[in-house]
Structure 1
Amino acid sequence: MDRTQYLQQFVDETGWYNSIVLGLILPEWIWRPLPFPLQSWLRNYIGGSLLYLVSGFLWCFYIYYLKRNAYIPKDSIPSYRAMKLQIIVAMKAMPWYSALPTLSEYMVESGWSKCFSTISEVGWPMYMVYLLTYLVLCEFGIYWMHRELHDIKPLYKHLHATHHIYNKQNTLSPFAGLAFHPLDGILQAIPHVICLFVIPTHFMTHVILLFCEAIWTANIHDCIHGKVWPVMGAGYHTIHHTTYRHNYGHYTIWMDWLFGTLRDPEDNYKKGE
């Protein structure tokens, strides 16, 4: 198989994703004539918006109403107004968020990355090695990107402060997970794209992990501490929103432990903070 044929596999796969999402929602005569990158952007926008809104509404309905007071004290439940404002901020940013996976897909389709199309090309053992390396590099990159968004004052003032107006339990909700300034959200997701040029990555896995970001960020803003080591759960992230100087990590606590910024929820509780 020559290089052109190989790269066509990525285009075909992206086209398949487009047909699944757009084909279920829009008549074909609307989206099919669009330029291929615009199709991909529209699919990312619609898919991302649905994932954010549906998962957010279902999760809020479960923890705030079906299980009211079981997970969150009554005085810690955010108001309708707070959640509405978070949705507005997130939805204003969604068109811009959608540009990043569209760009990463274009770079893969153009052969600029180290992506591979099928796991059989490298075998399962190497796939797992590459995946673990990808996740570690992403964790490192997201930690430092997040930390610098706090440490570099202009970045905090003009970008990250938009997210940190949610600084108490009763202002945090799953909808806060994507309530960022658009550039802030993109910067924190960029390590996923940078890794494509550093480590061989399975294309579908990359796409899935990008969309997992939406689910995970909703989870760590719900204030429910799952206590599953070494996961950077909501208990850790709630501390981040109240102290601003701890728990910058994403999926795990390891980077905060390694670089001295970890604060455990249990220790926080014992100190009465």
Structure 2
Amino acid sequence: MEAVARSGDYLWRFVAETEWYNEVVLSAVAPGDWWRGLPHPVQSWMRNCVGGYLLYFISGFLWCFVIYYWKRHAYIPKDAIPTNEAMKKQIVVASKAMPFYCALPTLSEYMIESGWTRSYFDISEIGFSMYLCYMAMYLIFVEFGIYWMHRELHDIKPLYKYLHATHHIYNKENTLSPFAGLAFHPLDGVLQAIPHVFALFLFPTHFRTHIALLFLEAVWTTNIHDCIHGKIWPVMGAGYHTIHHTTYRHNYGHYTIWMDWMFGTLNEPEDILKKA
């Protein structure tokens, strides 16, 4: 498979796929055909920006409507609901950073299209069982990478002061909201997602799955900043992540609690309740 993947005909399949994405998205949102004359990576970046903003605002507004208005008495105490002003500030920070975040999937697409990675185009090339095995390795590596990247953003003082502190001004239930999920310094947000790109060089990775997982980050971060503890083991849900925003020294993990358990930084929401 890898020998074939180096051929121009094979790589063109990735280019054709992203050109189709660009055509669908940009023709729908950009008036005229002016964008067709732009270099392919620039078109891809513009399309990724459209996708990133849409995911952020749709998931954020939808979830805020559910938990703060429609089901507000079922999920969150009234005094824990953030003000509209706090959410507006989070939206501004995330909106300014979004074009930088979207450079990461654009870069990974370019590297895949150039044949620099171990990505493959179709699951049938390796079979579904191997697809699942490689995807498990990919996700474990990403979980490990994000855990340590996040932890070092706290432990290395200049990184915290100049990058990660932007996100940690949201340190109480009444300042956290789904919109805080992407309210980072742009470089901070890119650094925490970059294990997805490193994984492409280590594991055979399905192209569409990789792109979907990168954009799933926007939805996932919305979820873990809503302060609702879902109690689904071993998911690193909002109950765990809210503790991270209040203690600063626990629950650095991303999708699961396993890395925090392995490296001694896990703090269970139930433990907090018992101490209260």
TM-score range, shorter chain: over 0.9
1:117-128 paired onto structure 2 within 5 Å: 117-128=121-132
Q: What residue number does 2:66 align with?
A: 62
Q: What residue number does 2:141 align with?
A: 137
Unaligned residue ranges in structure 2 (runs of 5+): none
Distance 2:258 2:17 in 1: 34
The alignment-based identity, stated in percent, is 72
* Residue in structure 2 matching 1:270, options 259, 269, 274: 274
1:222 maps onto 2:226 in alignment: yes
1:71 maps onto 2:75 in alignment: yes
1:188 maps onto 2:188 in alignment: no
Give the CA deviation at 1:50: 1.0
Distance 2:156 2:10 in 1: 42
Distance 1:3 1:37 in 2: 20
Give the TM-score normalised by the residue count of structure 2. Answer: 0.97
Q: What residue number does 1:116 align with?
A: 120
1:22-171 paired onto structure 2 within 5 Å: 22-171=26-175
1:19 maps onto 2:23 in alignment: yes
Query: Deviation digits for residues 108-161 of structure 1, max 9, x if unmatched?
Result: 000000000000110001000000000000000000000000000000000000
One-letter amino acid matched to 2:112: V
Distance 1:222 1:31 in 2: 37
Query: Deviation digits for residues 29-87 of structure 1, max 9, x if unmatched?
Result: 03222110000000011110111011101110111001112100000000000000000
Distance 1:97 1:196 in 2: 18
Distance 1:29 1:39 in 2: 12
* Residue in structure 2 matching 1:255, options 245, 259, 262: 259
Give the TM-score normalised by the residue count of structure 1. Answer: 0.98
Unaligned residue ranges in structure 1 (runs of 5+): none
One-letter amino acid matched to 1:67: K
Give runs of ≥4 in structure 1 deviating > 4 Å.
Answer: none
1:5 maps onto 2:9 in alignment: yes
1:224-239 paired onto structure 2 within 5 Å: 224-239=228-243
Q: What residue number does 2:207 align with?
A: 203
